[in-house]
Amino acid sequence: MTAPVRENLTGLDLRAEIDRLRKERNAVILAHYYQKPEIQDLADFVGDSLELSRKAADTDADVIAFCGVKFMAETAKILSPEKIVILPDMDAGCSLEDSCPPEQFARFRAKHPDHIALTYINCSAAVKALSDIIVTSSSAETIISQIPEDQPIIFGPDRHLGGYLNRKFGREMLLWPGVCIVHEAFSETELLKLKAQHPGAPVAAHPECPPHIVDHADYVGSTSGILQFAKTFPGDTLIVATEPHIIHQMELALPEKNFIGAPGADGNCNCNICPYMALNTMEKLYIALRDLQPWIEMDEELRLAARKSLDRMLEMASGTVGKGDLGRP
């Protein structure tokens, strides 16, 4: 379904109205760490994508309002088919998902019939259905360690995460050439300048970053893992190389510490803010709860096929979801 037409909501107490509709609709509101602070602050749960979907599935809510991007809302629908899943803006997509159309992925798989497909969760439900095992940045390491070294693997759609895992495990996984436009935007030159300005400050980076950023990191892990590292590192300043809205949770948990977002491009641009996540607003969340749209529709055959690859991941690494163990020092 298409995103709702923007309305003039001037004078409306959006927070109060969202709280009212949350109760009326028996809705649970989920916010990814990359959402704006005002959305994080009103959410029932804030976290990584799969972690959020699993928490929502465990509630008795009738409606899931997922403040994230489309593949995340699809995952919530895969795990909670009986619930209505709404996304404030259906145009909130993902460059990794866009880089891997299911038709092309199916043809790629057909050319490599001896390979199994390990697929990063940042992909469409259709690509999940074509995959053998879904991985998250928290679970990938645990899962790869269980796959025999002589088993050929296709890894997609993130070539930087796949390359990081290849280097760490000495594997030669065949990589799909997708990238996250946010993590791709970080500048090595500007990061080195920032490290010089804050000598001794560690760098925490997401494995979606390219090697020239990851190589300078003291910790590499998922957003949940980076948040956990922020709570345990001994210093008072941390440089964070992922989407900067995660810093809001760090500042809430550790107001006495200093968190600095790694710069992109010339050090002044906002290119490391996810433009897709930014499409979700308080106004759109209110309208989505009011109208119960735009909502996620999914064919049951597709849902069950996608669920198989997710369930396989949970069988192999359920304890890692939301734990951020990848790159643990």
What confidence tens digit (pLDDT) does each residue in 177-191 have? Answer: 999 999 999 999 999
Contacts of 36 (CB under 8 A, 6+ apart): 245, 278, 280, 281
Give the mean model confidence (pLDDT) for residues 56-75. 97
Is the pLDDT at 4 greater than 50, yes or no? no
Structure confidence by residue, pLDDT tens digits, 41-63: 999 999 998 999 999 999 999 99
Q: Select the more confidently predicted residue: 24 or 269.
A: 24
Question: Is pLDDT above 60 for 5?
Answer: no
170-189 as b/e, with b when 16 or more CB fall inside 10 Å? ebebbbbebbbbbbbbbbee
Instruction: Report the alpha-carbon distance of residue 233 to residue 143 in Å, rounded.
Output: 27
In the prediction, which pLDDT does 171 show? 97
* pLDDT score recorded for residue 12: 84
Query: Would you say the C-alpha torsion 218, 221, 224, 228 has a positive or negative sign?
Result: negative
- The more confident residue out of 131 and 328 is 131
Question: How far is C-alpha 102 from the geometric centre of its chain's CA atoms?
Answer: 19
Q: How do residues 92-113 score in pLDDT, each as one tens digit?
A: 999 999 999 999 999 999 999 9
Given a cut of 90, is residue 321 above it in pLDDT?
no
Average of per-residue pLDDT across 245-251: 96
**Quick one: tokens of 174?**
């065949």
pLDDT band (50, 70, 90) for residue 328: very low
User: In this model, does residue 324 exceed pLDDT 50?
Assistant: no
What value does the mean pLDDT of the chain take? 92
pLDDT of residue 2: 47
**pTM, whole model, 2 decimals?**
0.91
Mean local confidence (pLDDT), 38-43:
97
State which amino acid sits at residue 329: P
Per-residue pLDDT band at 136 (split at 50, 70, 90): very high
pLDDT at residue 327 in the model? 30
Rounded CA-CA distance 52/32 in Å is: 8
Among candidate residues 194, 188, 187, the one with its CA nearest the CA of residue 238: 194
Long-range contacts of 312-316 (CB under 8 A, 24+ apart): 312/132, 312/133, 312/134, 313/133, 313/134, 313/135, 313/136, 313/139, 313/143, 316/133, 316/139, 316/142, 316/143, 316/146
Q: Is the pLDDT of residue 129 over 90?
A: yes
Residue holding tokens 């057909």?
Answer: 110
Predicted confidence (pLDDT) at residue 137 exceeds the cutoff of 50: yes
